[in-house]
A = this chain, B = another copy of it.
Amino acid sequence: MTDVLRPGEAARIASEDEAVSLDELRLAARNHGMPLEALRYDLTPPGLHYLLVHYDIPFVDPATWRLTVDGHVGAPLALDLTALRAYPAVSQVVTLECAGNGRARLLPRPVSQPWLDEAVGTARWTGTPLSTLLREAGVREDAVDVVFTGADHGTERGVEQDYQRALPAAEALSDEVLVAYEMNGAPLPPQHGAPVRLIVPGWYGMAQVKWLRSITVLAEPYTGFQNEVAYRVRASADDPGEPVTRIRPRSLMIPPGFPDFMTRRRIVSAGSVELSGRAWSGRAPLTEVTVSTDGGASWAPASLGPVAERYAWRSWSATWQAEPGDYVLSTRAADEDGPQPVDQPWNMQGMANNMTQQVPVTVR
């Protein structure tokens, strides 16, 4: 068994030829990606939506649950579920993606939750705008950060903690952030944060605090583990790095044809093949999606579907005249800030790796 890390120790990087460890498998057996054929659904059914739980799924009794809003405010709040639901409700369709998506495709591989491409999902979230609660609590004008604490508890690299993340006050006060109590029109399932979670549209999953129990406004920068240590893009162990924030562009395709059980390699019949999928970016509006059938040597434009909501994925489609042979299919999104990389954007913790998908296919 791998030893538990002590405070200050960096996460491990696998050696060049090291296969997946039992520690990583244990996480993969609990947490799960979205099977890519579920890209067909505008709204991902809850059990197919990707899921990452840092510690255990806590049981929170909705009857006794309370949300406190305090810190650098004039009038602290303590709300039960009935009080929270009494505010005007807002619904948004939002695509969520784990910041670690693509990590297990990196070489060398940072050792953590070993995602391939599938840590994504889209749902309609309903709740109270966070800004409503902050304003009602009398948030001070010089607020710097707003801290969100969940009911899930564990240790991580030697630091015992409730899961806790902060947002800059300006982001927290935007009209987009929700304190959500419904997913696709039903109360949140246990694994998605019941009874109440945060939804920060456009940001990676680490910001979407589940099992939310307190909101604390700070007059100084927050320096907790998940902001300062865990979710950073660091080139080396002594690089303080940049914080992980908004979702970089990505496009994924529904693998065409049918799979081999063990390798997931696809078998496709020759002829006209309709390729389709979804693309999204939390960073800037999408500008195009392209498709490659030669492993990324050349790219052809896909037809991009309409914008439904700003932070929801967009459908795309393209037609491929498939001749018998072996191929690697790929798709690439670009937003106003640029395209997905074809080569890996390696970093110490395997964060925000939006390298293009590769789908091996045999046409017969």
Contacts and interface: CB of A to CB of B under 8 A. Distances in A.
Interface stretch (A35-43, A131-139, A213-221, A271-279): A35-43
Number of copies: 2
A260 interface: yes
Nearest to A28: B28
A106 B260 CA distance: 24
A261 B155 contact: yes
A258 B21 contact: no
Contacts of A190: 38, 41, 45, 48
Contacts of A83: none
A285 B145 CA distance: 57
A360 interface: yes
Nearest to A21: B19
A151 to B, nearest CB: 11
Most buried by B among A29, A46, A59: A29
Interface string A8-40: 000100000011111111111111110101101
B28 A25 contact: yes
A185 to B, nearest CB: 12
A46 B22 CA distance: 26
B259 A154 contact: yes
B20 A24 contact: yes
Interface in A141-196: 153-157, 160, 189-192
Interface residues of A, number: 67
A154 B174 CA distance: 47
A85 interface: no
A22 B48 CA distance: 21
A60 to B, nearest CB: 12
Contacts of A3: 263
A29 B33 contact: yes
A51 interface: yes
Interface in A34-79: 35, 37-38, 40-41, 45-49, 51, 53-57, 59
Contacts of A56: 35, 37, 255, 258-259
A260 B155 contact: yes
Sorted nearest first, the 7 A-B pairs with minimum C-beta distance are: A47-B47, A19-B19, A32-B32, A20-B20, A28-B28, A156-B261, A29-B33
Interface of A: 1-5, 11, 18-33, 35, 37-38, 40-41, 45-49, 51, 53-57, 59, 104, 111-112, 114-116, 118, 153-157, 160, 189-192, 255, 258-265, 267, 360
5 contacts: A5-B262, A20-B20, A20-B24, A32-B32, A157-B262
